[in-house]
């Protein structure tokens, strides 16, 4: 497959939002505990959110014709209709961080995304109300997997997640290089597509945070998640769901991002077919006195991290880990012989 030189970069807005808030919360907690001075500078989460975006794009390196999409999560996922337990524990986990005013910080993120929408030539995709419960019940999947007695509210609204937007983009832009920025291991499976790369914010490349993640077998990742479930998303493993075919199909439906259901793809196609061509307006960027001045750096080529360099580094790290494990085994054998 020949890949068009134009890149499509998709930013996982849900991940960026929560990393920004948790980073703020971590510093705030240290201040409250007296581990840091009360005068410690603590920027708003909106600043950190935008800063992380600029930092990632600098390392990826943009050309003028590249397309940037910010995918947002602010919705009740369609997955909850088919699997009500999906991410049900998340609210409780947030409540544990009593020093974080989630509503306030979410409002700051909303404000900065609106500014980004107005100032940049990027597309922001947020699709919160696509289907009501009754709509999903009458889909092919609803007919096969949902009993009428299970539905508590036919009028409840559901939308798509950032994961869906990212997954569909890698399929829709099949003739272009698609790079998604996230930390979410659920997305590893998408790397089965030749045009798709995962730029993760969790790994370091020569002292700087952010590099391409090398995923050798996306289908294996998907099969394992279907089998083992996903603790972070509150999806139980196959061994604890009574082994029914229905439970297996539900788990496959909500985990499989390679093969999104048609009712999801139909809605996303409408959006992707009508993405706007926008003009960049630098004077309207957020944080004019600081971050806005660094915005043009995303087009510079000095600090680009290439996928090939990441593959080389990944191989070296795996070799070091293998050698370390080998030495450990040999040491254990020697100790056993004493």
Q: Mean per-residue pLDDT for 35-62?
A: 96
SS3 of residue 73 by DSSP: coil
Q: How confident is the model at residue 228 (pLDDT cuts 50, 70, 90)?
A: confident
Q: Which of 131, 127, 123, 79 is nearest to 255 (CA)?
A: 79
- Is the model's pLDDT at 135 over the cut of 50? yes
Q: How far apart are the first and last CA of the chain?
A: 58
**Residue 104 pLDDT:** 97
Would you state the structure tokens that stand for residue 95, as one six-digit string? 């409540």
Q: Which pLDDT tens digit goes with each residue over 60-76?
A: 999 989 999 999 988 89
Give me the pLDDT at residue 243, please: 56
Q: Is the predicted pLDDT of residue 1 greater than 50, yes or no?
A: no
At residue 241, the pLDDT reads: 60
141-187 pLDDT per residue, tens: 999 999 998 888 999 999 999 999 999 999 999 999 999 999 999 99
Tokens of 96: 């544990």
SS (H, E, C) 239-273: HHCCCCHHHHHHHHHHHCCCCCCHHHHHHHHHHHH
Give the list of residues 6+ apart from residue 47 with CB closer than 8 angstroms, or none: 287, 290, 291
Edge to edge, the sheet with strand 196-205 lists 123-125, 67-71, 4-12, 176-182, 196-205, 208-213
89 Cβ neighbours under 8 A, 6+ residues apart: 234
Q: How confident is the model at residue 236 (pLDDT cuts 50, 70, 90)?
A: low
pTM of the full structure:
0.90
Band (191; pLDDT cuts 50, 70, 90):
very high
Which residue in 160, 165, 198, 164 sits closest to 181, CA to CA?
Answer: 198
Q: What is residue 176's predicted lDDT score, i.e. its pLDDT?
A: 95
Q: Rounded distance, CA 264 to CA 254, Å?
A: 11
DSSP output for 183-207: --GGGGGGGGSTTEEEEEEEEEETT
Q: Classify residue 220 as left (phi > 0), alpha (psi -120 to 50) or beta.
A: alpha
Q: How confident is the model at residue 248 (pLDDT cuts 50, 70, 90)?
A: confident
Helices marked H in the chain — which ranges?
Answer: 13-32, 45-60, 79-82, 90-95, 102-119, 133-137, 140-145, 162-172, 218-228, 245-255, 262-273, 291-294, 307-337
Tell me the mean pLDDT in the region 106-111. 97
Q: Which residues pair with 9 in a beta bridge?
A: 68, 179
pLDDT surpasses 70 at 107: yes
Q: pLDDT tens-digit profile of 306-322? A: 999 999 999 999 999 99
Mean pLDDT of the chain: 91
Q: Is the pLDDT of residue 194 over 80?
A: yes
3-state secondary structure of 337: helix
Judge whether residue 105 has pLDDT over 80: yes
Per-residue pLDDT tens over the stretch 7-33: 999 999 999 999 999 999 999 999 999
- At 26 the pLDDT is 95
Rounded CA separation 255/223 (Å): 9
What is the band of 56 on the pLDDT scale with cuts at 50, 70, 90? very high
CA distances from 122 to 26, 72, 118 (A): 30, 13, 9
Q: How confident is the model at residue 2 (pLDDT cuts 50, 70, 90)?
A: very low
Is 326 exposed, middle or buried (CB count within 10 Å of its CB: 0-12, 13-18, 19+)? exposed
For residue 226, the model assigns a pLDDT of 77
């Amino acid at each position: 497959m020949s890949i068009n030189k134009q890149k499509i970069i998709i930013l996982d807005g849900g991940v960026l939002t929560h990393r920004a808030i948790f980073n703020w919360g971590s510093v705030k907690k240290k201040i409250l505990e007296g581990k840091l001075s009360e005068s410690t500078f603590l920027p708003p989460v909106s600043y950190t959110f935008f800063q992380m975006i600029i930092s990632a794009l600098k390392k990826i390196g943009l050309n003028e014709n590249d397309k940037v999409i910010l995918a947002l999560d602010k919705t009740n996922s369609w997955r909850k209709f088919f699997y009500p337990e999906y991410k049900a524990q998340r609210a409780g986990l947030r409540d544990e961080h009593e020093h974080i005013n989630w509503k306030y910080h979410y409002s700051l993120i909303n404000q900065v995304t609106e500014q980004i929408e107005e100032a940049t030539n990027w597309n922001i995709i947020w699709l919160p109300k696509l289907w009501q419960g009754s709509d999903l019940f009458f889909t092919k999947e609803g007919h096969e997997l949902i009993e009428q007695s299970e539905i508590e509210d036919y009028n409840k609204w559901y939308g798509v997640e950032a994961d869906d937007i990212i997954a569909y983009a890698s399929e829709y832009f099949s003739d272009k290089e698609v790079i998604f920025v996230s930390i979410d291991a659920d997305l590893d499976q998408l790397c089965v597509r030749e045009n798709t790369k995962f730029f993760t914010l969790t790994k370091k490349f020569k002292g700087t945070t952010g590099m391409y993640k090398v995923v050798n077998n996306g289908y294996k990742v998907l099969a394992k998640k279907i089998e083992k479930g996903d603790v972070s998303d509150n999806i139980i493993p196959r061994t604890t769901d009574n082994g029914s075919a229905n439970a297996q199909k539900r788990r496959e439906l909500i985990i499989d991002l390679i093969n999104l259901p048609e009712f999801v793809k139909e809605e996303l196609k409408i959006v992707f077919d009508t993405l706007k061509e926008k003009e960049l307006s630098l004077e309207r960027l957020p944080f004019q006195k600081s971050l806005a001045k660094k915005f043009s750096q995303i087009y510079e080529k000095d600090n680009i991290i290439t996928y090939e360099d990441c593959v080389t580094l990944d191989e070296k790290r795996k070799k070091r880990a293998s050698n370390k494990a080998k030495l450990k085994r040999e040491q254990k054998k020697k100790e056993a012989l004493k």
